[in-house]
Amino acid sequence: MTKKVAIDDENLESATLNGESVEEIFLLVGDTEATYFIRAVDKAGNVTEYTVYMKPLSSVTDAVSGITVGNVRSSDAETISAVERQILDIAEAFDDGESTEEEWNKLTEAAAKCKDLNKRIADVADEITRLTDAVTAYDIDKVTSADKADIEKLISDIDTLLSGDNLTDAERAALEALKGTARALLDRIAAAKGAAEDDEITSVKDITKDNVKLRDKEPLEKAEKALEGALRDFDGNYTEEENKDLETKLETVKAALAAIGNAEKVAEEIGKLPSAEGAKLSDKSALDQVKNYVIEGFNLWGGGAAELYKDDKGESRLITTGDQANVSSQAASGNNLCPYRMTEKNNTMYNGYTWTPACYLYPIVFSDFMLSSPDGDVNNSPIYQNPGWPIEDGASALELPN
């Protein structure tokens, strides 16, 4: 900076600046590369000499001349701080009575630049911290589609920093790794969505227990496996609504499979029965399935229901013996109400229903045997009577239900 020099000597004889005569008060022009030699001689012949080395302000600010808000990095912080300290020291010594306005403007501009650079370093550091804290706060086993937009915004913000020139190599590597972590979160959300929308699941979306067909069994089993896998593998990666939807789909699939299972059981039991064309008395295993089959109702005696049938005096309205019996007895029929076992007297259904061979086919009429016999003897007819029926006119079945 330009400085004023005053030689305070009452006996000053002469003064020179770089060999040129000057008054006792003169200026040393600042902000320039110069060496000033000052020589003062008093009347007694005593000589005093000073050498002043003047430097331009750029000698201080050159250290940050190539640094801008667009490329400043945290590694520049120490250099910037050193320049800023020197500028402040110069500013403290600034005297507007001797230094120029132009010099002051250069000082304030340099100070403002250092302030802007430091602010940019701090802003980038704060942004890195924010992004790091935000991404690492997510749990990959619990991230859901509800987090997708926020994570995508974080990745966009990371890309903004990466596309700039304000990062050190270490910071850049750390942000690239952080971006990879965020991408992994999005991949997890996508995988959970893919599992929930698997073709094996969507292919049975319209099948219910009410419209299911036997041919739907294999795709339903695949859908069941896929749904159970999705809920198992991505249990924490679905929103409450998504999880509920998957569980509902699984329940629907299971109900449809149960309906198929019931149909298969019925088909299996039907398959065990002899056909009408091939019914034989020897089909005992099939016939035994419908022998003495007792119709049963609700649990009357074992579940406390009998207590509901008491009058105001606490006496039971249920009668289990005699001609007036209105319910089956627990001793004879067990806990369930058996409507056909209230009384045994004159009751052909007391021991249940029994299916007999004669019930499979109607009997061939007696006249057919007579007409087909060559000699009028029904025993010589080529026609065979259906199982369970005799060759007699107006006769009953050989075996009747009990």
DSSP string over 314-325: S-B----SSTT-
Q: Own/partner pairs for 211-219, CB < 8 Å, 24+ apart?
A: 212/256, 212/259, 212/260, 214/260, 214/263, 214/264, 216/256, 216/260, 217/257, 217/260
Read off the DSSP letter of residue 36: E
Read off the DSSP letter of residue 16: E
- DSSP per-residue codes, 325-373: --S--HHHH-SB--TT-S--TT-TTTT-B---GGGTSPPPPHHHHHHH-
pLDDT value of position 402: 46
What global pTM score does this model have?
0.60
Torsion angles phi and psi, residue 54, rounded to 5? -100, 135
Report strand pairing: 20-21 vs 12-17: antiparallel
Per-block mean pLDDT, blocks of 10 residues, the chain (402 long): 86 91 89 91 92 90 92 95 91 81 90 95 97 97 96 97 96 97 97 96 92 89 96 95 96 92 72 54 56 83 82 88 88 88 84 70 79 79 81 75 48
pLDDT value of position 117: 96
Question: What CA–CA distance (Å, rounded) separates 31 from 93?
Answer: 14
What's the distance, Cα to Cα, between the start and end of the chain in Å?
131
Question: What CA–CA distance (Å, rounded) separates 88 from 107?
Answer: 9
Torsion angles phi and psi, residue 354, rounded to 5? -135, 130
